[in-house]
Structures are given as C-alpha cells and as structure tokens.
Chain A
Amino acid sequence: DIVMTQSPDSLAVSLGERATINCRSSQSLLYSANNKNYLAWYQQKPGQPPKLLIYWASTRESGVPDRFSGSGSGTDFTLTISTLQAEDVAVYYCQQYFSTPLLTFGPGTKVDVK
C-alpha cells in the first residue's frame, strides 16, 4: 500500500503571505509511460465536502485561483498558496491515485491566519 505523509500538521500564516505544505509518498507516483505524477490536492472547509484543487501534481482544476500551485515529482510534492486570503483557511489533503481506483489520502494540514 502507498502511504502518504504531510508536513506540517498545521501552520499559521499572515494574510498576503505564502503558505507551503509538503507531501511525501512511500513510493514514486510518477508513471513513466506518460510522465505524469498521480498526485492530487484537496481543500476542505468546515462543514463542507473536500474540493479538488490540483491534479497531476501541478494542474489546477477549473475555477481554482492561480494563487494555488502544485509542484514536485516522484515522491515529494508541495502545495503553495502564494498570497494567503482569509477564505483559504481550511484543511488541505494530498492524495495519491497512482493505484487508482485504490486511493490514499495524506493526514491533512490545517492552515490558519496568524
């Protein structure tokens, strides 16, 4: 089974500042046949279902603000919020779908305003 870890568990960032979340997988999520990383990022606000932000490690879902960006390859990935807005307060999860339909989520990172 692919195990996902995230760091930090939580972080507090001033409005307008950058937030960076890290995600690591226990095995490579890069599929050599298509050179794609099977890694997604989700945002979950209280009382709501998760929302897909990024897939293929760096492709933004339609309608997601461009202050959200994803990077990384293989086993190490990063979600960056370039300028934190109040509405970005949420828990963020990474997820592997390399073994789809078998999925694994990371434990989540809580983002708050400092």
Chain B
Amino acid sequence: EVQLVQSGAEVKKPGESLKISCKGSGYSFSNYWVAWVRQMAGKGLEWMGSIYPGDSDTRYSPSFQGQVTISADKFINTAHLQWSSLEASDTAIYFCARHADTGSVGDWGQGTLVTVSS
C-alpha cells in the first residue's frame, strides 16, 4: 500500500525558518515525482513544485520559485519543503503527493498545517 506520511503541525514566528517532511512507503520512492501543494484557509489547491527523488530534478511553479526549496533524500524515502524566512502569508496546509504513472496525482499525504504568527 502506497503511503505518504507528513510531519506534524508547526507554529512559527515571522522570519523563522522551517523544513517539513513527507515520507513515502509502499513503492519505489526514487522513481516517482513528488509534488507539494499549498492550500490556504478556505481556498483552492496550488501546485508549488515537484521533485524526482532519483536524481533530485526539481521543478517549481513560477509563483513559488525562490520562495521555497524542495529537496529529497532517496536513501530515507523522504521529501522536504523548506522556507528560510517565513511570512504570515505562508500560513496554510501543505500537502505532498505522488505523481502516478499517468502523470496525475494519485496518492496524497495527510497534510501539514503551518501557522505563522507573531
């Protein structure tokens, strides 16, 4: 069974850094793109970027390029999303998800709530 398990909720202050994680199991982690998707409160889904853990090839949405860093460690089957300096506007739920063979996104993590508040 494919599973994506994300790290727990975070509460941070503006200007702080943060790295959240997504651990895959039940499949060959290196061989499937992993996407990160943002959902702000009451809003829709926004694709932030995707990484191919096998060679760390990473693609970003223009809206998020330079704002976040996506990385992966194929040896521990884990992808990461990180910020160097959080802003209040980063408050959202962040989902990781596995691209299916078709290219659509078939498997999702449970989501990580990030709250940024002074």
Identify the A interface with B (CB < 8 A).
1, 38, 40, 42, 44, 49-52, 55-56, 61, 91, 93, 95, 97, 100-108
Contact = CB atoms under 8 A, between A and B. Distances in A.
Contacts of A40: 104-105
A105 B43 CA distance: 12
Interface of B: 33, 35, 37, 44-47, 50, 52, 59, 61-62, 95, 97, 99-100, 102-106, 108-111
Given A101-B99, A105-B47, A52 B33 contact: no
A107 B110 contact: no
How would you classify the secondary structure of chain A's contact residues: helix, strand, loop or mixed? Answer: loop
Contact of A101 (B35, B102, B109): B35
A7 B11 CA distance: 36
A108 B37 CA distance: 14
